[in-house]
C-alpha cells in the first residue's frame, strides 16, 4: 500500500489496435483504444495520447493528447475526431521527471521522407545520453527530453533516406535494437501497420489479444477466421474490457507485425550469449493489475504466493491477520491460509479523501481487533511514513500488538530501466533507522520477504504454467526464466553507460 | 453493492462544532467542520454548505455553499473566510429530486427580528405539504421546495415575534416538534449556541463527540475539564478524523444545547403512548460507514452478523464464498465463517472507471475460482441490472456455479422519511421476473435474508451493548428497542398525510 | 471615462417580454430575453437571471441564474430549458455591496398560496430598513439582504391570503407603493401577466417597446394588429437588437399590465402634492448607453449639449480638442463644435488589457499633438487617479499644455436610491487637494460643468421634444420636468429614514 | 472595420528582451516580456509562448506556452517560473491553418550538440515545401508543420556539428538566409544572446528599443550608459507600456546581436541586384496598432493621409462624414478635414457582444444623422457581409443616403508571405457582384482608394521623415523605398516555388 503514496511509478502503458479487413471496417477502433487505455490507467495518470491512422495508402493521422486521466484528457467531441481510424496506438504516461508538459506526451509523431511514423514507448533507454549525442551530432535538434522522440529520430536517421527508396521500417527497427539493449516495449505505427517490439531482455511487458465477435467470444470453435481485429497491450487486464481474448506475449527481442491481414512474427533479436531474460519483478510485486497475466500466471496468484512464502519465512505469534487495503489483500489472504490465523478487516477506506484537506485515508474497525494481537500485511515499506500512522490508529483503537509483515524485500537501489524510485537516500532500507525499523514506525515487530522468497514465489508459477499456455514460435531460448531484481539486489541486467 | 448504482440515497449528513471557552479560541473550528463534513461525504455528494458564527453578542455569520464534493465545492481561499468562527454547522446533500440547484443547498440561514438562525436538516417531514400551506396562508412566500427553509420559517412564525421579547428558541423548537412527528435530525444555530434535535421516533441518527487535546486523547484520566470543544454529527465515523471521542447519541425526541460552556439536555419530547422508536434499519444495511456506531454497536459488526444469519437461513452446497466489493465484504466474511467455506476474492476493482467511457467496474481474478462453485454475497438487489453482468463475467471466466446470497431483504415499499428509493414499479421485488429472479439474472440460485433475520441481527447487538455504553440521562423509555422497516414491510411508524 | 474605473455603478437593468397570442407562439421569448439582457449589460456585470413562465393556468416557471456576464452566466444547454416560455423577466446586477453571491441574484421567485410570483427590481428602497423590521415582526425570516426579496415578501403579506380568494396583485402592488415612495422600477410576473411599475418619482427608467415582424418593421402602415409581442426594458437601446419599436415610457407612479392581449395602464399612483419628478440625472451623464432615449431625447445628444455648454462656461486658449475615449467623445465633439477648435484623437485604446498584467489602457498618438496645447474632455473626475497618468503620458509625448474640461459637475454626496458612489471621503471634490485639482493631477487647468449648466443641457431637449414624442395617456401632471441631482447638490427628493 | 470580421490575419508578433549587465540584474525580464507581448496581442490571439534563459554559461531555459490571449494563457503561478531569466523571447500567434494546437505554439526550442536554441518567427517561408524535403532527406523527422521548427532544424543541420567546435550561429543564420529569401523577422536565442534577423526584403517589421530607468526616461542627457536593457519587437507600440525608448528598425537583411553588453549590427545580407525592399503595405493599412512607427512615421498619420487622399480621389456630395469604429476613424477624420464636411458619430459600439448570442455590434445614434446624407468611411471591404447590415441599420434609422468610401484598394490576390487572406474566390473584388458593389451592399455609392493613392499616402511620409529619424549604419541601399503590394496587384517580390 505504501507504493501508492511513495511516488514509485511505472513510466507508461502502451496499447494498440488494428481492425481486420478493409477500411471502413465495422470495428470502432477509437472506442477500443480508449477503453484499452483506461484499463492501463494504473500505469500512468499524468497524460494520455492517441494516434489513429485511417490505413489508406496516403493515410490521415489523427492525434489527441491531453493532461490527466484518459477520462478527463479527452472530451467526447475530441474523441469523435478519431472516428475514421482503422488502426491506432495510444499511451498513458507517468510523471517521472516532474516535467509534466503536454509536449512530452506520447505517442510521438513525425513526418519523414517516407511518411509519418508514430511511436509509443514503455521503458527507459539505458544509453539514452549517448544516443542523444549521436543524433545531435548528425545535426538534428531534439525538442523534448523524452526517449520516444529520440527513438523516432533514430528510426528516421539510419540508414539515410531517399524518396525513391521503399521504406524498410523493420530494418530500421533492427538497427535501433542493435544500438540500445533495453529497456523498451514499443509500438511503431506506419500507415496501415503496427510493429510491436520488445527489447531482447523482455524488461517491460507486452502481449497480444484477439478481438472476437461477442457472439463467439466463448464458443470453443471460434477460429482465427472470426477475428475482428488485433490488440496489443502492456497488460492483458485491458482485454477483458473490450471483449478480446488473450493470445500470447510478445517475446523478448521479438518484432511482431500487426496489420489488417493478421499478426506475423518478423524477427527475434537475440541477447548476448549467456544473458538471461530480465523481466521486471516489480511488475508482479506492485505495478500490474492483479487480473493481468505475465509468463502464463495471474499476478494475483503470485502475490498470494508471496504471502504464503512470507508466512513460512516470518511466522508470528498473534490472533488475527489483516491487510492494508487494497493492494496487500492477496498477500494477506495467502499469509492467513498458510499460517492458519483468521483473516479479518481492521481498516475501512474513506472513498472521499479530499485533495484540499488532509483527511485520514482509513477508519478503524475497532470492534474487530480491540484486545487482539494483529499481523498486518503490507506490500511494501518504502519511506516508512505511511504505515506509521496506521499502526498508531490501530493501537489507539485497542490493538494489543501490531506486527508488520511486508510481502516484498526492501528496495535498496535505483532503477535505470523505467521505474521511478525515490533516491537511494530516501529509501528507508538505506537509512540508519532501518536498523530498528519496528521502533521507528511504532510496530511490535517488522519482517520482510527475502529476495529468494520473492523470486521463488514468482518462478514456481512459471514452471507449472509455461509449457501449455505460452506461445513462443521461434525462439526457444527466450523461454528460459530470469527476472530483473536490480532495485533489490543492485545486479543490473546490462552494464550501465553514463 | 447494487445500492451504489441504484440511485438509492440518504438525504443528507449534518455536522456541527462549538469551541469551548471564549472567542477567539485556539480551536480551528472551520477545519474541524470541513474534516467532519468530508467524513460524512458518503451521505451526500450533490452539494455542501457551511455556516459559522463568531459567537459574539451581535455575531457575524459566514456562509459558504457549493455544488459537488466538499473538496471541490470550497476553494482554499473561500475556506479562509470561515477562519474567525467560534462555532458552526454544516451539511452535505444528496440529490433526491433532480433539482440540483445551489439555492436548495443547506444550511438555510434567515434573518429574524431576534437575529439570524441557521438550520441544517437530515430527514424528510412526513407532513411537509400541509405545513407549507400553513406557512403560506400566513403570507410567507417560500423560495425553495426544501424542508429546511420550511423549518426556518416555522421557527420564525410561531409564536409571533416582538423586538422587546427575549428569543425563546427552545420553545419554538418544541412548537415545531408538536407540528411534525418525523423525520428529522436538526442542527439549529443561533448566535453562540447550537441546538441538536432528533425527532421523537429517532428516525435519523445524531450523536455527540468531545474534542480532546491530542496529548490527552488516550489518557484515561482526561476529564471534561480538558475539553476543547464539542461536535455533533450524523455519524460517529467523522470523529476519528478530527481527534474527537464518541460521547453519546442524541436520544429520540431530545433537544440538546451545545455552547462554549458544554452540552446540556434541555428536553425530551415524547412519542405518542405505545409507539416504539423507529430508527431507520437501512442506516445499518447500507447508508452508514462501517466504522460508525449506532445504538452502541459498530455497523461493520451488524453487517457481519447479517452474513452469519444469512448462512444459517440460506446455506449453499459450494466450494468458495466471495464478495461483491467493497460494501458486501463484512457479510461475506460472516457467511464464510458461519458456513466454514473458504473466503476468496473473485473480482478486482478498476479504480479508473471513466465518466466518459462505459468501462467495466471489475476485472475477474480468473485463476481463483475457475472450475469452482461460488457463493457470491451482495448487500442488495434493487433493480437487478448490476449483479447480472458480474455473474456473466464469472461464468465466462470459468465459475462452475454462481449462487447469489443477499444480506438484506428485498426492498418493496417507498420511504417517506428521507430515503430516495426507486419507484415501487422499478423495484425488482415487485416485478413478475422476481418469481424467477435466479433465471432473470443468470444465477444458479438466489436467496435473501429475511426481515426477521435482519431485525434479529441488528437487535441482538443492542441487547448486549446498550446497558454499559449508551448514556441516556433523562428518558428511560426511549431506550426501548424498535426500528423502521417500512421499505421492507410497508409498516410506517406514523400515519401519512398527503 | 473615470466612471468606468471608479466603482460607480447602477444597481441593475430589468427586461421583460410577453408574446402576443396563445401559447405556443412563434416568438422565441427566451431569445428575445437574452438579447435584451445583453443590451443592458452595461448596467450590471456581476450576475444575471432569467425566469420564464409558459403562461398556462398552472404555469411552469423556469429559472436560470449565473454569475458574470450574460454570455458566460448561461450555457447554451441551460438556455434550452427556457424554450417553452411564453413570457419572462430578466435582470442583470451590479455588485454594490461586495456580497457577490448567487443567492442575491434576481429575479426573486417565491411560492405563495396563490401561486408563484417573480420580481425583478432596479433601484433601492429608501426605507428598506424599516420595511425589513415590519416583515420580520410578522414572523417572516429573510434569507438575503436584497430589496427584491423584501418586495416579494411585502407583496405576499399584505393583505393576508386565503386560498379561496382571487389573487389581486394590483391591489398588493398599490399597497407596496404606499409603503415605499422610491426608488424602484419593477417587473412583477404572475402566471401570464407582467406588471411594469415605476415609482411615483420616476427615479429609475423603464420603457415599453413593441415587437413587429421584420417585414413590417419599417412599414408606416404597421398597426397594433401586427404586434408579435411586447417588451419592457430599463433602456430603449435594447430594442434595436431584437427588432422592437420604441413605444413609450412607463410614467412615474404608473402600473402597466402586459399580457398576451396587449398593454394596459392600470393606475398612476401620485406623488405628494408639490413634489416634482426626480429622474436620476446621472442616467444621462454616465449610466445609459448613448443610443437610449429618455424623456424623448437621445442620451448622446444630451452629452453633446453638455460639451457645448462646457465650451461656453469654460472656454480655453488652446490648439486642439480631444477626448478620453470612448465615453467622453460626444462631449468632446460638442466642445469642439462650440469652440471652433479642431477635434483630433490623442489616445488609442489597447483592446487587450490583461487581467493579470497592469497594462496601460492607452497608447499616445504622438504625432497628432506634439508641440500643441490640448483641451482634453473627460466625462468625470471621481477620485482623480485615472486622469493623472493620461496627462503624464500626453506631456511626455510632447503636448505643450493639457487643459482638462469635465462634462459633469463634481460628485459630492452619497446616493441612497440605487447608485453605488464612493464614500464622501473618497470623492475628490470633498478632499483638500480639490482646492488645487489641476496641480494635483498635473494639468495646466481644470474646469467642471456647473449643476445649472448640466440641468439646462438636459432639460432644454425635453422642452422641445416632449410634446410630440412621449405618450402619457392618463396623468398630465407627471410630465412636469424635474430631476434628481442629489449626488451633486445634496438635495434628496424624499426625506430619508434610517 | 471589415478586416476584424474577415479572418484576415497576421501570422505573429515577436518580442525579446535582454537585461544589461550581469545576472542577477534588477530588471524583471519576465514582466517586460509579458507586457511587451500583451501590446502585440492584436497580431495574434490564438496562442502565446515565452522562453527565458538565465544567461549562465550552461543556461537554464524556462518555457511557457498556452492557448488564447496572453492574459489567459499564463497563470500568475506559471509566470513566477520565469522569474530568474536574464533574457528571453516571446511570441503570439494567429491561427492561419485552423490547426490550433499547443504544439504549433512558438517559440520553438531544441537541444543541439552546442546547446539549446530558441526561435520565434513572424512571416512565412516562400519555399517552405522544398526546405522541408531537404531536411527530411537528411533523416530528420519533423513533428509539426510550423516554419519555426523547420528554421530550427535548418540552423542545426548546416554545417554538420562537432562537439569540439565553437558554435557559430551567425554563420548558420547566414546560411539559412541564403536558402530562403523571405518572409521572416526572426528572434534566435542562444544562451546569453538574442539574434534579431529581418529578411533581405524587410517584408515583416522588427524594431529595437532601449530600456531607460523611469527617472531618466525623459531626461535629454540620458546616454547609453543609463541603459537597463534592450528590447526588440514587431512593433514599437509595445515600447510605451514598458518604459522603453524607440531606438531604430532592424534593416532589411540585417542580423543584430543583442546581449548584456549592448547591441551590435553583425551583417546585412543583400537582396538580389535591382530588387527593392518589400515591406508589407498591409501593416500600414490594417495590422499595426495606430501608435506604432514604421519607416519613421506613425501608422495613424498614414491612415489619416489615406483618408485625405480618398477625399481627393472620391469626393462626395453629402452632409456629414462618419466612421465604422474604431479602425476607420483616422481615415474618416482625414476625409472630413480634406473635404470640409462635418465629422459626426453614427454608430455606438456595444462592448458586451456575447459569444453565445448573435448580438448586433453597433447601436445607431439616430438623432445625429436622421434626414442627412452620410459618407461612411471604412478601412476595407473584404467579403461585403459586414458593411451591409450597417448600411441597413443607418437607412432604417433615417439616413437619406449612405455613401461608402473605402480607405484601401480592393484585395484581389493571395499572400504567400504570412498574411492569411480569404481565398481568391471569397474576395468580393473577384466576384461578379463587384460590378455593382453598391447595389449588392445597399449603398448609394461605393468608391475605393487606388493603389497609387495608397502607395503615395504611405511613401510621402517616408520621404520627409526618413533622413533624420531612421538609423541605418551600414547599408545605404536598403533605405531605398519599396513596398509589397502583392495582395492588391499580384506582383510578388520574389518568384514563388511550389
How long a stretch of residues is chain A? Answer: 498
Alpha carbon distance C147, C131 (integer Å): 10
Radius of gyration of chain B (CA): 23
Q: Are C241 and C310 within one domain?
A: no
Give the pLDDT mean for B156-164: 81
Alpha carbon distance A156, A331 (integer Å): 47
Out of A295, A323, A339, pick the residue that ends a domain: A295
What nine digits make up the cell of D321? 462624414
Residue A356 has pLDDT above 90, yes or no: no
Give the pLDDT mean for B310-322: 98
Question: What CATH code is carried by the domain that includes residue A157?
Answer: 3.60.20.10
Residue A428 lies in a domain: yes
Other C-beta atoms lying within 10 Å of the C-beta of residue B381: 29
CB contact under 8 A, A141 and D160: no
pLDDT tens digits for range D195-229 = 999 999 999 999 999 998 766 655 656 566 678 89
Radius of gyration of chain A (CA): 23
D280 bridge partner residues = D484
Print burial letters for B91-122: b (CB count within 10 Å at least 16), e (below 16). Answer: bbbbbbeeeebbbbbbbbbbbbbbebbbbbbb
CA distance A360 to chain B (A): 6
pLDDT tens digits for range D172-188 = 999 999 999 999 999 99
Total of domains in chain C: 2
**Cβ of residue C241 closer than 8 Å to a chain D Cβ:** yes
pLDDT tens digits for range B123-141 = 999 999 999 999 999 889 9
Alpha carbon distance C208, C148 (integer Å): 21
| Residue that wins the pLDDT comparison between A343 and B9 | A343
Q: Are A276 and A362 within one domain?
A: no
Give the pLDDT mean for C264-274: 94
Residue B492 lies in a domain: no
CA distance A161 to chain D (A): 6
CB contact under 8 A, B355 and A297: no
DSSP calls for D389-440:
HHHHHHHHTT-SEEEEEESSPPP-S--SSSEE---TTTSGGGSGGGGGHHHH
What nine digits make up the cell of B285? 444495511
pLDDT tens digits for range C329-374 = 999 999 999 999 999 999 998 877 655 555 678 999 999 999 999 9
User: D353 exposed, middle or buried (CB, 10 Å; 0-12, 13-18, 19+)?
Assistant: middle
B344 contacts in A (CB within 8 Å)? 333
Residue D459 lies in a domain: no
Radius of gyration of chain C (CA): 23
Q: Are A309 and A287 within one domain?
A: no
**D 325-364 residues inside an 8 A Cβ radius of C:** 326, 329-330, 333, 337, 342-345, 348-357, 359-360, 363-364
Among the listed residues D470, D229, A5, D360, the one whose alpha carbon sits nearest the alpha carbon of residue C244? D360
What nine digits make up the cell of A59? 493515410
Q: Range with the lowest mean pLDDT among A241-255, B281-295, C78-92?
A: C78-92
What nine digits make up the cell of B328? 458486501
**Binning pLDDT at 50, 70 and 90, where does residue A48 land?**
very high
Among the listed residues D93, D116, D117, the one whose alpha carbon sits nearest the alpha carbon of residue D105? D93
Answer for the pair C9, C390: CB distance below 8 angstroms, yes or no: no
Q: Are D20 and D88 within one domain?
A: yes
What Cα–Cα distance (Å) separates residue D197 from each residue in C482, D13, D254, D268?
A: 67, 14, 6, 9
CA distance D28 to chain C (A): 13
Q: Are B270 and B329 within one domain?
A: no
**Cβ of residue A76 closer than 8 Å to a chain B Cβ:** yes
Q: Are B333 and B195 within one domain?
A: no
Residue A350 has pLDDT above 90, yes or no: no
Q: Range with the lowest mean pLDDT among B266-280, B406-420, B436-450?
A: B406-420
D268 bridge partner residues = D254
Place of cell 459567537: B55
pLDDT attached to residue A158: 80
pLDDT tens digits for range B189-237 = 999 999 999 999 999 999 999 998 766 655 656 566 678 899 999 999 9
**CB within 8 A of A7, min separation 6: which ones?**
A420, A422
What Cα–Cα distance (Å) separates residue B435 from each residue in B382, B441, B492, C495, D18?
A: 15, 12, 26, 79, 82
CA distance B313 to chain C (A): 52
Q: Is position B379 annotated in a ligand binding site?
A: yes
D46 bridge partner residues = none
What nine digits make up the cell of B3? 445500492
What Cα–Cα distance (Å) separates residue B94 from each residue in A46, B8, B38, B40, B43?
A: 31, 10, 14, 11, 7
pTM for this model (two decimals): 0.86
Question: What CATH code is carried by the domain that includes residue D373?
Answer: 3.40.50.2020
Residue B491 lies in a domain: no
**CB within 8 A of C162, min separation 6: which ones?**
B137, C113
Q: Are A384 and A240 within one domain?
A: no
| Residue that wins the pLDDT comparison between A142 and D79 | A142
**Binning pLDDT at 50, 70 and 90, where does residue D15 land?**
very high
Q: Are B78 and B219 within one domain?
A: yes
Q: Is residue B418 helix, strand or coil? A: coil
Give the pLDDT mean for D398-423: 90
**Cβ of residue D15 closer than 8 Å to a chain C Cβ:** no
User: Which chains touch D (3+ CB pairs under 8 A)?
Assistant: A, C
pLDDT tens digits for range A203-220 = 999 999 999 876 665 565
Give the pLDDT mean for D50-64: 87
Residue A222 CB-half CA count within 13 A: 16
DSSP calls for B71-137:
HHHS-HHHHHGGGG-SEEEEEEE--SSS---GGGPSPEEEEETTEEEEEEEEE--TTHHHHHHHHHH
pLDDT tens digits for range C176-217 = 999 999 999 999 999 999 999 999 999 999 999 999 876 665
| Residue that wins the pLDDT comparison between B361 and B323 | B323
Alpha carbon distance C130, A178 (integer Å): 89
DSSP calls for C233-301:
ES-THHHHTTTEEEEEEPPTTEEEEEETTEEEEEEEPPPPTTPPP-EETHIIIIIS-TT-EETTEEHHH
Alpha carbon distance B151, B119 (integer Å): 8
**Binning pLDDT at 50, 70 and 90, where does residue D353 land?**
low
Please state the separation of Cα C389 from the chain's center in Å. 29
Range of the domain at C378: 304-453
Residue A490 has pLDDT above 80, yes or no: yes
pLDDT attached to residue A349: 86
Among the listed residues A330, A449, A311, A461, the one whose alpha carbon sits nearest the alpha carbon of residue A380? A449
Residue A18 lies in a domain: yes
Judged by 3 or more CB pairs under 8 A, whether A touches C is: no
Residue D468 has pLDDT above 50, yes or no: no
Q: Is position A280 annotated in a ligand binding site?
A: yes
Residue D118 lies in a domain: yes
Q: Is residue B441 helix, strand or coil? A: helix
Alpha carbon distance A187, A233 (integer Å): 9
Q: Are D131 and D155 within one domain?
A: yes
Mutate to test the interface with C, among B134, B140, B162 (most CBs of C within 10 A): B140
pLDDT tens digits for range A57-99 = 778 899 998 888 888 888 877 887 877 778 999 999 876 554 4
Q: Are D333 and D254 within one domain?
A: no
How confident is the prediction for chain C on average, in pLDDT?
A: 87
Q: Are D303 and D257 within one domain?
A: no
Q: Range with the lowest mean pLDDT among B12-16, B324-328, D116-120, D210-214?
A: D210-214
Out of A435, A453, A471, pick the residue that ends a domain: A453
Give the pLDDT mean for C473-486: 68
B190 bridge partner residues = B117, B193
φ/ψ of residue D181, rounded to 5: -80, -30
Alpha carbon distance D63, B489 (integer Å): 67
Residue A152 lies in a domain: yes
Residue C242 has pLDDT above 50, yes or no: yes
Residue D438 has pLDDT above 60, yes or no: yes
Task: State the ipTM, two decimals.
Answer: 0.89
CB contact under 8 A, C38 and D352: yes
Residue B170 has pLDDT above 70, yes or no: yes
What nine digits make up the cell of B460? 441482538
Mutate to test the interface with C, among B118, B131, B141, B156 (most CBs of C within 10 A): B141
Instruction: Evaluate the CA torsion angle C25, C29, C31, C36 in order and state its sign.
Output: positive
Q: Is the peptide bond before A373 cis (omega within 30 degrees of 0)?
A: no
**Binning pLDDT at 50, 70 and 90, where does residue C260 land?**
very high
Query: Any idea which residues of A carry the catalytic annotation?
Result: 12
**Binning pLDDT at 50, 70 and 90, where does residue C467 land?**
very low
> Of the candidates D138, D143, D145, which has its C-beta nearest A139's C-beta?
D138
pLDDT tens digits for range B45-92 = 888 999 999 887 778 899 998 888 888 888 877 887 877 778 999 999
Residue A44 lies in a domain: yes
pLDDT attached to residue D163: 76
**Cβ of residue A99 closer than 8 Å to a chain D Cβ:** no
Q: Are A210 and A324 within one domain?
A: no
pLDDT attached to residue D376: 98
**CB within 8 A of C92, min separation 6: which ones?**
C12, C13, C37, C40, C41, C43, C44, C45, C47, C48, C70
Residue B20 has pLDDT above 80, yes or no: yes
Amino acid at each position: 500500500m505504501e507504493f501508492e503514496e511513495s511516488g514509485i511509478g511505472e513510466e507508461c502503458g502502451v496499447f494498440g489496435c488494428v481492425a481486420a479487413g478493409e477500411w471502413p471496417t465495422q470495428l470502432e477502433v477509437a472506442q477500443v483504444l480508449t477503453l484499452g487505455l483506461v484499463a492501463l490507467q494504473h500505469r500512468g495518470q499524468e497524460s494520455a495520447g492517441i494516434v489513429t491512422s485511417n490505413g489508406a495508402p496516403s493515410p490521415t493521422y489523427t492525434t489527441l493528447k491531453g493532461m490527466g486521466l484518459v477520462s478527463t484528457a479527452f472530451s467526447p467531441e475530441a474523441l469523435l475526431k478519431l472516428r475514421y481510424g482503422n488502426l491506432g496506438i495510444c499511451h498513458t504516461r507517468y510523471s517521472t521527471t516532474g516535467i509534466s508538459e503536454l509536449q512530452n506526451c506520447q505517442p510521438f509523431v513525425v513526418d519523414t521522407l517516407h511518411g509519418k511514423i508514430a511511436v509509443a514507448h514503455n521503458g527507459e533507454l539505458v544509453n539514452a545520453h549517448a544516443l542523444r549525442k549521436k543524433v545531435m551530432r548528425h545535426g538534428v535538434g531534439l525538442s523534448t527530453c523524452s526517449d520516444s522522440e529520440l527513438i523516432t529520430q533514430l528510426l528516421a536517421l539510419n540508414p539515410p533516406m531517399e524518396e525513391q527508396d521503399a521504406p524498410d521500417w523493420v530494418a530500421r527497427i533492427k538497427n535501433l535494437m542493435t544500438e540500445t539493449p533495453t529497456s523498451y516495449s514499443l509500438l511503431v505505427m506506419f500507415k496501415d501497420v503496427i510493429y510491436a517490439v520488445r527489447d531482447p531482455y523482455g524488461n517491460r511487458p507486452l502481449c497480444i489479444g484477439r478481438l472476437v465477435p461477442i457472439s463467439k467470444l466463448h464458443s470453443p470453435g471460434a477460429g482465427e477466421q472470426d477475428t475482428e481485429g488485433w490488440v496489443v497491450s502492456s497488460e492483458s487486464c485491458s482485454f477483458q474490457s473490450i471483449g478480446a481474448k488473450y493470445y500470447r506475449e510478445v517475446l523478448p527481442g521479438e518484432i511482431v507485425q500487426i496489420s489488417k491481414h493478421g499478426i506475423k512474427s518478423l524477427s527475434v533479436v537475440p541477447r548476448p550469449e549467456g544473458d538471461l531474460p530480465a523481466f521486471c519483478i516489480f511488475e508482479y510485486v506492485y505495478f500490474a493489475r492483479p487480473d493481468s497475466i505475465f509468463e502464463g500466471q495471474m499476478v494475483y496468484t503470485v502475490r498470494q504466493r508471496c504471502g504464503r512464502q512470507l508466512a513460512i519465512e516470518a511466522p508470528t505469534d498473534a490472533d488475527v491477520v489483516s491487510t492494508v487495503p487494497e493492494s496487500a489483500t492477496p498477500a494477506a489472504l495467502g499469509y492467513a491460509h498458510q499460517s492458519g490465523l483468521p483473516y479479518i478487516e481492521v481498516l475501512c477506506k474513506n472513498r472521499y479523501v479530499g485533495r484540499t484537506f488532509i483527511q485520514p485515508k482509513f477508519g478503524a474497525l475497532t470492534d474487530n481487533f480491540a484486545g487482539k494481537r494483529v499481523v498486518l500485511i503490507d506490500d511494501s515499506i518504502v519511506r516508512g511514513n505511511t504505515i506509521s500512522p496506521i499502526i498508531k490508529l490501530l493501537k489507539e483503537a485497542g490493538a494489543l500488538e501490531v506486527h508488520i509483515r511486508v510481502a516484498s524485500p526492501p528496495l535498496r537501489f535505483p532503477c535505470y530501466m523505467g521505474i521511478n524510485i525515490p533516491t537511494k537516500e530516501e529509501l528507508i532500507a538505506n537509512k540508519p533507522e532501518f536498523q530498528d525499523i519496528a521502533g521507528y514506525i511504532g510496530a511490535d515487530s517488522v519482517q520482510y520477504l527475502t529476495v529468494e522468497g520473492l523470486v521463488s514465489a514468482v518462478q514456481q508459477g512459471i514452471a507449472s504454467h509455461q509449457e501449455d499456455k505460452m506461445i513462443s514460435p521461434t525462439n526457444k531460448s527466450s523461454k528460459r526464466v530470469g527476472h530483473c531484481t536490480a532495485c533489490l539486489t543492485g545486479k543490473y541486467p546490462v552494464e550501465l553507460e553514463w
